[in-house]
Chains A and B, each alone.
Chain A
Amino acid sequence: MWGYKNKKYTGKCFGSYTIEEPIGQGRYGVCFLAKSDNGQLVTIKKFKPGMFKKNSEKNVFEAVILSKLKDKRVPEFLGVINEKRFYGFVLEYKQGLTVKEMLFKSNREFSNEEIFNIGLKLIRIIKYLHENGVVHRDIRIPNVIIDNEEVYLIDFGLARWSDNQYPSHLDFSYLGDFLLYLLYSTFHTKKTHKNLPWYEELSMTVGKKMFLKRLFGIEGTYENIGEVERGFVASFKI
């Protein structure tokens, strides 16, 4: 999965950090697991050469937004590395598995109770972000980590201050999409399967269906995250 280009960094030192292994990648570059001099595990988000300068105005949002946020449910911004053609952000490492790994590597099936607990914790993280004027814009299964029933939200690469251009309700359809991944974990496709939308394919209560449709904007929309929280509790609580 990881090419030579990324593996070649293993064991190398940048600042007070030693790279252990690559743990994720994207258009921005690669994420590495690294260890500091005092043994603390961190994530180093290395930008592709030129990528940070090219998108510098956009990339500063991640640094500034994470500098403002102080909550154990989101990674802390720990520093910047800029040496030997290696430019990256040092971020707090969150232990656990991403929901994507749980679904597609461990084939994990989530019960209704688990979906409620995870969904509510995620909504409360989004509530914290929106209260601080931040819209994440990338709430997806590879960016949600679960560890001992604690939920963490990572990757603020697309996060912005909420305003007219980036209204906070942008996060709602992502939340809907995320919840559908959990709901589909117990759905098994048949061989004679037709392509149907989730609201025709999944068996669920009218309340849940309406809640999800509102998140996607298919039915009347939610005004704010507080309203989303109340709607979720009303429709998903066991």
Chain B
Amino acid sequence: MSYSSRSSNGRHYQNGNQGSSHYKKKGLFGNFLNMMGSGSGSQNRNNNNRNQQNYGNQQNNAHANNQPTNNQSMAVCSNCNAQIPAGSKFCLQCGQKVNQGLCCMNCGEKLPPNAKFCQKCGNKIS
């Protein structure tokens, strides 16, 4: 049976030692347990220590973006003045499409679509 668990460092691995009792059954109880463990709403998240050990030395440094975004990498929505996370196509507060109303955080100048720098003050946008 699957159950939910979560490793302290945020890594999740599927249990690699299950059989038909896991893969052939999806009853109400199984779904309930699965849903409890999923942040996105679907199913199980089994933590396998052996997997963590085997994969432990493989690390990918390509992106180090999983930190709260700072002000410099955000823009301000011209509609509601909420901060928009860098890269988002829409303001997450009011839904305004970003390339229609993006303003520079530094000087408030309206920015053209896909701008990387403010043309007035040179502030980096993303």
A-side interface residues toward B, CB under 8 Å?
A: 15, 24-29, 31, 56-58, 60-61, 63-64, 67-68, 77, 79-82, 100, 103-104, 133, 137-138, 140-143, 155-158, 160-170, 172-174, 176-177, 180-181, 183-184, 187, 189, 193, 195-198, 200-201, 212-213, 215-218, 220-221, 223
CB of A82 within 8 A of CB of B60, answer: no
Contact: A164 with B61, CB < 8 Å? Answer: yes
- What is B's interface to A at a CB cutoff of 8 Å? 9-14, 16-21, 23-24, 26, 35-36, 38-44, 48, 50-55, 58-66, 68-69, 85-95, 97
Decide: B14 and A221 in contact? CB cutoff 8 A. no
The answer to whether A198 and B14 touch across the interface, beta carbons within 8 angstroms, is: no
In this complex, which of A156, A181, A198 has the most chain B Cβ atoms within 10 angstroms of its Cβ? A198
Smallest CB-CB separation from B2: which chain A residue?
Answer: A177
Q: Give B93 Cβ to nearest chain A Cβ, in Å.
A: 6
What residue in chain B is nearest A76 (Cβ atoms)? B89
CB distance from B42 to the nearest CB of A (A): 5
Chain B residues lying within 8 Å of A220, measured Cβ to Cβ, are 54
Q: Evaluate contact between B20 and A193: CB separation under 8 angstroms.
A: yes
Q: Give the chain B neighbours of A138 by CB distance below 8 A.
A: 38, 40, 42
Give the Cβ gap from B29 to chain A, nearest Cβ, in Å.
Answer: 14
Query: Known contacts A63-B85, A168-B60, A181-B23: does B92 contact A80 (CB below 8 Å)?
Result: yes
New A-B contacts (17) at CB < 8 Å, excluding given A64-B88, A183-B23, A197-B17: A15-B95, A25-B35, A58-B39, A63-B85, A64-B85, A82-B93, A133-B62, A138-B42, A155-B42, A163-B61, A180-B18, A196-B20, A216-B51, A217-B16, A218-B54, A221-B54, A221-B58
Tell me how far the C-beta of B65 lies from the nearest C-beta in chain A, rounded to whole angstroms: 4
The answer to whether B19 and A201 touch across the interface, beta carbons within 8 angstroms, is yes
Q: Which of A67, A104, A223 contacts B26 (CB 8 A)?
A: A104
Q: Is the CB of A187 within 8 A of B89?
A: no
Inter-chain contact A157/B40, CB cutoff 8 Å: yes
Number of A-B contacts (CB under 8 A): 190
Given A28-B39, A138-B38, answer yes or no on A61-B66 (Cβ-Cβ < 8 Å).
yes
Closest to B94 in A: A82
| 7 closest residue pairs by CB, A with B | A26-B41, A216-B16, A157-B40, A217-B51, A80-B95, A161-B63, A184-B23
Q: How far is B50's CA from A140's CA once the two chains are assembled, in angstroms?
A: 21
Give Cα distance in the complex from A161 to B66, angstroms.
6
Chain B contacts of A163 at CB under 8 A? 60-66
Q: Please report the C-alpha to C-alpha distance between residue A157 and residue B84 in the assembled complex, in whole angstroms.
A: 18
Chain A residues lying within 8 Å of B64, measured Cβ to Cβ, are 161, 163-164
9 contacts between A and B (CB under 8 A): A60-B92, A67-B90, A137-B12, A142-B42, A158-B38, A173-B13, A197-B16, A200-B19, A216-B16
Report the Cα distance A104→B11, complex, angstroms. Answer: 28
Chain A nearest Cβ from B104, distance in angstroms: 19
Q: Which residue of A lies closest to B89 (CB)?
A: A67
Residue of B13, B21, B44, B53 ringed by the most chain A CB atoms within 10 A: B13
The distance from the CB of B67 to the nearest CB of chain A, in whole angstroms, is 9
Residue pair A170, B12 in contact (C-beta under 8 Å): yes
Which of A64, A168, A200 has the most chain B CB atoms inside 10 A of its CB?
A64
